Amino acid sequence: MLGIPDAGIWLAYLLCIASTILCVVYGIINWNKGEDTNEVSVQKDIEWENKEKEIDSKL
């Protein structure tokens, strides 16, 4: 078959193709999923950024 006598080589090719297809499907499914933006995490991020700006201004 196509000059590839070893089943291990066929298996490697098939697994590469299968993983490529799975990665493309995963990417399509998760393409425009946004970040989890609950109020608590957003508030923590804002506080962290403010604290970082304060530290940078002191330096």
pLDDT digits (tens, 9 = 90+) for 1-31: 677 888 899 999 999 999 999 999 999 998 8
How far is residue 17's CA from residue 29's CA, in Å, rounded to a whole number?
A: 18
For residue 36, pLDDT over 70 is answered with no
pLDDT of residue 14: 94
Task: Say if 2 falls within a structural domain.
Answer: no
Tokens of 7: 């089943």
pLDDT of residue 39: 80
List the domain range (segments joined by +) for residue 43. Answer: 7-58
pLDDT of residue 52: 92
H or E segment to which residue 57 belongs? helix 39-58
Tokens of 57: 């201004």
Number of domains in the chain: 1
Task: Say if 1 falls within a structural domain.
Answer: no
pLDDT of residue 1: 62
